[in-house]
Amino acid sequence: SGKLLDEIFKEVKPGLSAYKDPKEAAESLKPLMEAAVKTVPASLRKCTLVALKATAGLRRLGVDQAERHLAAVREYLGQYPFHMEKDAVEIMAGSDEGVFAWITVNQLLGRFNEGAGKTVSIMDLGGGSTQIVFEPSASSLALAPSTQRYTLKMGSKTYELYQNSYEGYGLNRAREQMYEVAAENADPSSPVQHPCVPTGHQEVMQLNGQQYTFIPRPEPSFEACYTYAKQILNKDKECPLKPCSFNGVFQPHISDPQVFSSDMYAFSYFYDRTQLGAPQPELTVADFQERAAKACTAPGTDADKKTHCADLSFMRALLAHGYSLKDSQKLKIAKKIDGFETAWALGAMVTLMKNVKISCS
């Protein structure tokens, strides 16, 4: 299946969806494209693929605005000496986003090589959506709707995957929902007490066209914040096809060894929120509760940490309540594997290269 020899990883912030002007959004990619020009030898640029895959954040702008952004990006990338396919610039389907991340991690771990053992599962937590992808037993996958099954050929082997992208359950959107619950019966002209705001902080948010100021409760409480996190998962929603994870979505029991038995990797915001200070590359589901409780009760004025009570409470709820993982379940929290990024970009590139025939001659 090939081995990744080198990569240049560079990121720019904010993302495209933060820009109102499409031209400005496109031009924000300049540092990335300049890095690409600098890295790729002139003789190979015409046969080097360039692509931009947007995620849930851009979807939330609405179809028309998102398409204006993408059109501006196509025009901008067209000024560079790389090869661009017709569908190179697009909003990814949620199913692709998760599967591309699954390909990345298993590729970096060498799990597509002959005799390499079982593939691993992945949990990717973005800002607007979250994905879970794993290779379950054939009997449990047979129950899944076609929209949640993904057939993938890598080398000589075919993989039958379960995947789901939960729109609206990325970390930023989930946090918003946790505040919306408190705002339902609140008066926006007065500060609203919220258990997810730690002592010493306040959170000002625009919700449903109104501005709310959220302040801490007199007594900090992880349990109260956790209640909001569990509430937005809609675990009680009707489950038309059992078993369900949350919000009425079918998902094989990932905690059942008969369904799935292999390592679990979690990254993106899972990494960003848990690996501050002394990194701990393996955490149990119980560790998320411990960290959330600490974030919810620790007083302070560090602006970078004011969302950590809500964020870690949601992660704990997603894993324990949403996916029904046991407290003892271990998760490998990885930003890199062997020095390479665990993001979905490598998986997208591998897929692109399989489907495009291009020559440098």
The residues annotated with a catalytic role in the active site are 97
What is the H or E stretch that residue 166 is in? strand 157-167
Please check if 213 is assigned to a binding site: no
Please check if 127 is assigned to a binding site: yes
Beta-sheet strands, E only, within 46-175: 52-54, 89-91, 121-125, 129-134, 149-154, 157-167
Beta-sheet strands, E only, within 20-96: 52-54, 89-91
DSSP 147: G
**Long-range residue pairs from 340-343, CB within 8 A, at least 24 positions apart, any chain:** 340/4, 340/7, 340/108, 341/7, 341/9, 341/104, 342/101, 342/104, 342/105, 342/108, 342/265, 342/267, 343/101, 343/104, 343/267, 343/268
Structure tokens at 107: 């590729």
Residue with tokens 């494209």: 33
Radius of gyration of the chain (CA): 21
Please check if 151 is assigned to a binding site: no
Nearest to 315 by CA among 205, 172, 106: 172
Q: For strand 121-125 and strand 282-284, is the pairing parallel, antiparallel, or unpaired?
A: unpaired
Q: What is the spatial distance between Cα 290 and Cα 312, in angstroms, rounded to a whole number? A: 9
Please check if 129 is assigned to a binding site: yes
Please check if 107 is assigned to a binding site: no
Nearest to 90 by CA among 126, 40, 50: 50
Q: Are 295 and 346 in contact (CB under 8 A)?
A: no
**Binding-site annotation: residue ranges for ATP:** 127-131
**Binding-site annotation: residue ranges:** 127-131
